[in-house]
Amino acid sequence: MGQITLTIHGKLNDFLPNRSNENSVQVSFNQKTALKHIVEVIGIPHPEVGIVQVDGHEADLNYPVQNGDIIHIYSRVVVEQQYSQGGPKFVTDNHLGKLTDYLRLLGFDAVYARDWLDEDIARYASEHGCILLTRDRGLLKRKIVTDGYCVRADDPEQQLAEVVAQYRLNNYVTPFQRCPRCNGKLAPVKKEDIIEQLQPLTRKYYDEFTRCAGCGQIYWKGSHFQHMQSMLSPYLHQNSEEQ
C-alpha cells in the first residue's frame, strides 16, 4: 500500500468537505493508478484541473502516482485566446435552463440538453467542441468530457456572472442576436411582413422587429426587452469599454 499527499488549491476546494483556499489530503492506494482516478475519487472532476506539480515538477492527470509523492493541484485557468471567432459554444444540462436563456441573450451558442441522458450530453459536448456546463459533478467525470465546468451558484443571475468570469466572455458578448427560446439566430424583419402576427398595441407603438430563423418567434423592444437589457447591463457595459 502506498500513500500520497495532495494539496488542493483555489476553487477546486469547493469539491472538498472542508472548504478553504488550500487543503492537504492524505490518500492511500493499493495498486498502481493514475492521478486522475485519485483526484476524482476525492470529488474533483478532471475538466476543472489545471496545473499539476509532483515534487516540484510539472505533470498531468495521467501521472502514475508513487508512494510518498507530494502533489499540488491547481484550478484550470482559461486562456481567452483559445476561442475561435464568435467565442465558445456551450451545452447545458436540465439544471441550468435559465442560465441557458441568459447565455443566448448575450449571443452565445448554448444548447439546452433538457431530458437528455448523461452519456448523450457528454458525447454531444465532445463531438461538437462545446463547453459542458452542469451542476452534476458526476457528469463532468465522464472520460469523454474534456472541457466543462460545475456551476456553483444557485441563482441564475449569479450563475451567469460566474460563467462569464470563468470563461472570460466579456469580449465575445453580442447581445440579442440569438433566440432565448430555441438558440436560433435573430435577423431584422420588416414590420409589413409580420403585421398580421402582431397585437394591435404592438402594431401601434413599435416599428423595429427581429425574427428567429429557427422557431419564427418575433421580438421587439418592449418592456420585457428593457428588463433584460437592465439585467444584462454589467456585461454590455464591460464589452463596450473593452472594445
Label residue 78 by pLDDT band (50, 70, 90).
Answer: confident
Considering the domain architecture, whether residues 86 and 147 belong to the same structural domain is answered as yes
Q: Last residue of some domain: 49, 75, 101?
A: 75
Q: Cα(219)–Cα(210) distance, rounded to whole angstroms?
A: 5
Name the residue range of residue 68's domain: 2-75
| pTM recorded for the entire structure | 0.91
Considering the domain architecture, whether residues 228 and 136 belong to the same structural domain is answered as yes
Domain count, the chain: 2
Q: What is the mean pLDDT of residues 103-107?
A: 97
The DSSP code for 47 is: G
Q: What is the CATH number of the domain that holds 41?
A: 3.10.20.30
Alpha-helical segments (H) within 7-155: 35-41, 97-105, 118-128, 137-140
Is the pLDDT at 190 greater than 70, yes or no?
A: yes
Q: What is the mean pLDDT of residues 1-14?
A: 94
Q: What is the mean pLDDT of residues 81-100?
A: 89
Label residue 146 by pLDDT band (50, 70, 90).
Answer: very high
Considering the domain architecture, whether residues 88 and 70 belong to the same structural domain is answered as no
Is the pLDDT at 241 greater than 60, yes or no?
A: no
Considering the domain architecture, whether residues 98 and 183 belong to the same structural domain is answered as yes
Considering the domain architecture, whether residues 57 and 130 belong to the same structural domain is answered as no
Q: Cα(93)–Cα(202) distance, rounded to whole angstroms?
A: 35
Q: Last residue of some domain: 75, 99, 123?
A: 75
